[in-house]
Each structure stands twice: as C-alpha cells, then as structure tokens.
Amino acid sequence: MNKIALVAALTTALSAASLPAHAQESLTLKKIKETGTISLGHRESSIPFSYYDDKQQVIGYSHELMLKVVDAVQAELKMPKINTKLLPVTSANRITLVQNGSVDIECGSTTNNLERQKQVGFSTTIFVIGTRLMVKKTSGINDFPDLAGKNVVTTAGTTSERLIRKMNDEKNMGMNIISAKDHGESFLTLETGRAVAFMMDDALLYGEMAKAKRPGDWAVVGKAQSKEAYGCMLRKDDPGFKKVVDAALTKAMTSGEAEKIYAKWFMNPIPPKGLNLGMPLSDEMKELYKAPNDKAFE
C-alpha cells in the first residue's frame, strides 16, 4: 500500500470511529433518524398488554413501556420531535412485519423463545406468564387431562397452539383444536359454546375475562404448561437499537416506574369496562424488576 492509499485508509477508519455507535451498528436508528418516524407494532385485543379502548386508542401495559422506548430513542437521536406510526399486528403476521421493516418494535404479548430468536431479536423481558385454561365455572373442567375428546380453542401462531397440539399428539387425547385469528375470537369461540376451554397465557385469559359479558361465569384453571417470557420484538442483529431499547426498559423496571405501570393495568379498574384483573405482582415479576434480563425460559 503506497503512502497516499495508507493515509486515505487511515482517514476513513478515523472518520468511522468518530461516528456515534448507533450510526455504525443500527440500521433501525438510522431509518428512524432519516424518516423522523418510528413504527410501533401493537395488538388489537391483548388485554391488558396492548389493545384498543372504546375510542379505538391503543392502550395497555406493554404499550406504555413501548412509549418509554420511544422517548429514549428520541433522546438518543437528539430529535426535537419523533412521529409514531401505529401498526396493528396479529400472532400470525407480527414476526414477518418486524423482519420486513414495516414495524421497528413490537411490544404486546410476544413470547421470547429459542425458535423465534432465529428470526427476530428480543428486548429485555417485560412480563413473565404461565400457559393455562379459561373455562366456564360450571364446565367441570379443572385441568388439562379433562380436555380429552373435547373442543379446545387457542390463538393461531402462539406458543399455546404449539403446546396444545403437541400434548394432543403425544398423549393421544383426541381433542379437536380450533385455531382462532386473535384472542378476542378465541374467547368468543369459548363464550358461544363452540369450545369448552381456551388455552392461552394466564394474564391474557384474565384480560379476556375482564371484557366478558358476565366475568363471574369464567375461571382460569389448570397447571401451567410452560413459563414464558414476553419481550418486545426487534429486527435481528441490530445491537445498537437493542441497547437503547433495553436501557429504557431496565431504567423503568429498576426505578419502580414499571411496577406503577403494572399496578395500573393489573390491580386497578381498566378500560373499556372498568373491571379489575386483580393480579398481584408475582415473585417472578418481582425478580425481573430487580434484575432485568432478556433470557427465554426454554
């Protein structure tokens, strides 16, 4: 390499080194900076995590945490204003919409597991749940073995769907498994008697119960079939963006702010019917807030 070429190479290297870390590492932050907009993926009926209220405004526990991330991104990029584009997602299309760039971050009720880590990135965990059943109190169903030969509904594209189908095959239970497009449709299937049980994450089941016509008719039962961590989905291999997201969530958790958000959505009356889910903070959630992490349980 001649002297001129060497000087040019060194100049290029020094220029790159002087750029902010996110400019080198994060295509997501670069896109947000250039467009002035961050695209947020949200759920339409994942009460109380991410859902529409009676005015069609997106609200919920996960959504509030995602807005903390938006504030952190705005500060990181030193933007006087950042526009937010809200895009509804389903269990079936949420991964694709993150992968193809339609959504920059999705915070709803998405389980962080090893299979999904091959396709997308995940933030620090925002919630820990167990997968159980919602049934009518008069159904006589108390646990998963009681489902043999019966109609069971779950939401398509979820971990619960994979687990119930595996159980059905391995234990030869003869269940007829119905896959609904979203949690609202799953509960409607249960409510109208087309299924005797709805399998899903326990917090989501309590959420569906809160908006039922007669909440007192229903119960959440059964031994949890898995313990799962919810995280916000990001595009894979974007450490610069993940660093900003994780820092914002960790700050909310360790400062006590996340616990206040939890109390708002799980221990107090929530829209649209003003019902209280009455879910005290679990030991797993207390540990998460003390020591935030992005580990899957699998």
**Secondary structure string (H, E, C) spanning 202-228:** HHHHHHHHHCCCCHHHEEEECCCCCEE
Tokens 């965990």 -> residue: 125
Residues 233-244: tens digit of each pLDDT: 999 999 999 999
Q: Which of 124, 94, 91 is nearest to 106 (CA)?
A: 94
Architecture of domain 131-227 in CATH?
A: 3-Layer(aba) Sandwich (3.40)
The whole-angstrom separation of Cα 101 and Cα 262 is 30
Q: Going by C-beta distance under 8 Å and a sequence separation of 6 or more, which residues neighbour residue 101?
A: 31, 235
74: exposed, middle or buried (Cβ count in 10 Å: 0-12, 13-18, 19+): middle
Q: Bridge-partner residues for 51, per DSSP?
A: 45, 59
User: Token digits for 201?
Assistant: 């994450």
Give me the amino acid identity at 218: W
What is the dotted CATH code of the domain comprising 21-129+229-290? 3.40.190.10
Q: What is the pLDDT of residue 41?
A: 98
Residues 108-152: tens digit of each pLDDT: 999 999 999 999 999 999 999 999 999 999 999 999 999 999 999
Whether the per-residue pLDDT at 68 is higher than 70: the answer is: yes
Q: Do domains 21-129+229-290 and 131-227 have the same CATH topology?
A: yes
Secondary structure tally for the chain: helices H, strands E:
12, 14
Q: Which of 141, 112, 134 is nearest to 199 (CA)?
A: 134
- Predicted confidence band of residue 24 (pLDDT cuts 50, 70, 90): low
Q: What is the pLDDT of residue 290?
A: 98
The whole-angstrom separation of Cα 140 and Cα 2 is 84
User: Token digits for 271?
Assistant: 């829209």
Q: What is the pLDDT of residue 175?
A: 98
Q: What is the pLDDT of residue 4?
A: 45
Q: pLDDT over 90 for what percent of the chain?
A: 81
Domain boundaries, the chain: 21-129+229-290, 131-227
